Chains A and B, each alone.
Chain A
Amino acid sequence: MRWLRKLIGAVVVLGGAGAVAGWALSAPVRLDAATVAQLGPGDAAKGKRIFYAGGCTSCHAKPGSKGDARLELAGGLELKTPFGIFVPPNISQDPKDGIGAWSEEDFANAMLKGVSPSGEHFYPAFPYASYARMKPADIADLYAFMKTLPAVAGKAPGHKLGFPFNIRRGIGLWKRFYLSPEPVIALPGGTPDKALAGRYLVEGPGHCGECHTPRDFAGGVKKAEWLAGAVAAAGSGVVPNITPQGGTKDWSEADIANYLETGFTPDFDSVGGAMVDVQRNMAQLTADDRAAIAAYLKAVPPRANGYPARKPKS
């Protein structure tokens, strides 16, 4: 049995080395000083646009709230995913239950690096893998705008996650694969500014790819199937393919922009599902921003549907 003991010994040593390496590789990484220096004082008026482009209310507003109450960011919605149920926290200006006491740098580390003020990793259910592509100046403006929103007391309930997803440290490894400030789609030289502006809005604050792109086993978006559509995270229904090969193939850029403004499709259907909140946020942007998004959606590589074909009719 000596061989067995040797084997076990070797496994323990290797496992230990792996764990040490894993521990080092999974350590939280904060913003570097150069990026922090770019934050600068924010402009709340400009931050409003970023706030709506980023769709913060869709997840952080009190569930079911309407109108101005959408600006009370008390959290509490349940996001059902294959990894468990995530509950977006209170990010109102309450200093105790919300983020009222956070510095601009704390906020930027959360948005761009997914790291909390106490140095823990956030779960990517908070779509910072997209927000990481945002410009520091836009983060500063957003911070300034959020300062103008009300403080709401009360913590949201915690997440409901099973092992191993309840261990935050592992997210550090995930980030090594999936967190990057680089654009997803390298548009060719000569691409009009409009489509480039749209790329920024879609890939960064708009986080459209978080719903419209299929994910791999580790929950990272499959960049090779960018915006190709996906089975909805909640498990039932699909999020449509919005590449030029998808259901929007025959939509003009004006049709896409109009859908984002009014919710009406060119064939007179009306927006539904999780897209309703997104559309209501898009309606708050300028016509130029919506046109830019439409131009980018026409410029991305066409892809086959990222979800299985529907079963034939019975």
Chain B
Amino acid sequence: MRKLVLAISMLAFAGSAAFADPIKDRQALMKERGKLAGQLSKVVKGEEDFDAAAVLTTLKSLQANAERFDAETLFPAGSDKGDTTAAPKIWEDMAGFKAVGDKLVTDVKAAVASPPADADALKAQLNKIGGDCGTCHQTYRIKKG
């Protein structure tokens, strides 16, 4: 009996090591993305001074973050269960879901390619980027309270 328990717990351990929790991974990716967008938002709101170099660095980090969005790995089938706000719609329309992810990459890249010269220019770019967050969250995310 003790052997059996030991075997099972070792198996469970091996399992969790092999498949890092995709729900935690994607939430961490999103949290980082939120922090970066939040930093830009502070500049737009005038809570922080506009510093072109710092803004560009943040935009680049946001680009890297957006490019790390690998839908297949982060949203494997069945991972709509558990402590997640991912909507079942993701698995009904994986192509549409990925397309919004790609749109975010495109818009952030465009911002990096023509870095904003002042807070107003950044505001226009952040509106577009924020719009992509909203478009995805509108369809592919459900708050469960």
> Taking A276-B135, A276-B137 as contacts, is the C-beta distance between A237 and B142 under 8 angstroms?
yes
Give the docked Cα–Cα distance between A204 and B131 (Å).
27
Which of the residues B131, B138, B145 comes within 8 Å of A273, measured between beta carbons? B138
A262: chain B residues at CB < 8 Å are: 41, 44, 126-127, 130
Closest to B123 in A: A262
Q: Nearest chain B CB to A64's CB is how many angstroms away?
A: 10
What's the minimum C-beta distance from A304 to chain B, rounded to whole angstroms? 12
Interface string of A261-286 (1 = CB under 8 A from B): 01110011111111011011000000
> Which of A267, A270, A274 counts the most B-chain CB atoms under 10 A from its CB?
A270
Of B82, B127, B134, which is within 8 A of A270 by CB?
B134
Given contacts A258-B45, A262-B41, A314-B82, contact A272 B130 (CB under 8 A): no
Total contacting residues, chain A, CB less than 8 A: 30
Task: Tell me if A238 counts as interface (CB < 8 A to partner B).
Answer: yes
Q: Are B133 and A273 in contact (CB under 8 A)?
A: no
Instruction: Contact check, B83 vs A313: say whether CB atoms are below 8 A apart.
Output: yes
Known contacts A258-B45, A262-B41, A264-B38; A272 and B82 CB within 8 A of each other: no
B85 neighbours in A (Cβ, 8 Å): 272
Residues of A1-54 whose CB lies within 8 A of B? none
A191 within 8 Å of B by Cβ? no
Q: Are A310 and B145 in contact (CB under 8 A)?
A: yes
Q: Judge whether B143 and A263 touch: CB under 8 Å.
A: no
Report if A236-B137 is in contact (Cβ < 8 Å); known contacts: A262-B130, A270-B130: no
Q: Are B45 and A238 in contact (CB under 8 A)?
A: no
Q: Does B34 contact A (CB under 8 A)?
A: yes
- A309–B145 touching, CB < 8 Å: yes
- C-alpha spacing A258/B145, complex, angstroms: 22
Nearest CB in chain B: distance from A285 CB, A:
15
The residue that A280 contacts in the complex, of B34, B45, B87, B134, with Cβ under 8 A, is B134
Judged by a CB distance under 8 angstroms, whether B144 is at the interface is: yes
Contact in complex: B142, A263 (CB < 8 Å): no
What is the CA–CA distance of A262 and B41 in the complex, to the nearest angstrom? 9
Given A236-B142, A238-B145, A310-B144, A273–B41 Cβ distance below 8 Å? no
Given contacts A237-B144, A238-B145, A309-B145, whether A270 and B45 have CB atoms under 8 Å apart is: no
Cβ contact within 8 Å between B83 and A270: no
A270 touches B145 (CB 8 A): no
Whether B137 pairs with A273 at a CB distance below 8 angstroms is yes
A236 CA to B130 CA in the complex, in Å?
Answer: 25
Interface residues of B in 114-145 (CB under 8 A from A): 126-127, 130-131, 133-135, 137-138, 141-145
| Bound Cα distance from A272 to B35, whole angstroms | 17
Residue in chain B with minimal CB distance to A231:
B145
26 contacts between A and B (CB under 8 A): A237-B144, A238-B143, A238-B145, A240-B143, A240-B145, A258-B45, A262-B41, A262-B126, A262-B127, A263-B130, A263-B133, A264-B37, A264-B38, A267-B34, A268-B31, A269-B34, A270-B34, A270-B37, A271-B137, A272-B142, A272-B143, A273-B142, A274-B138, A276-B135, A309-B145, A310-B145
For the A-B complex with A272-B138, A276-B137 known, give 5 more contacts whose Cβ atoms are closer than 8 Å: A237-B144, A263-B130, A264-B37, A277-B138, A310-B145
List A residues at the B interface (Cβ < 8 Å). 229, 232, 236-240, 258, 262-264, 267-274, 276-277, 279-280, 305, 307-310, 313-314
**Chain A to chain B: the 7 pairs with minimum beta-carbon distance, closest first:** A272-B137, A268-B38, A268-B34, A270-B133, A237-B142, A276-B138, A238-B145
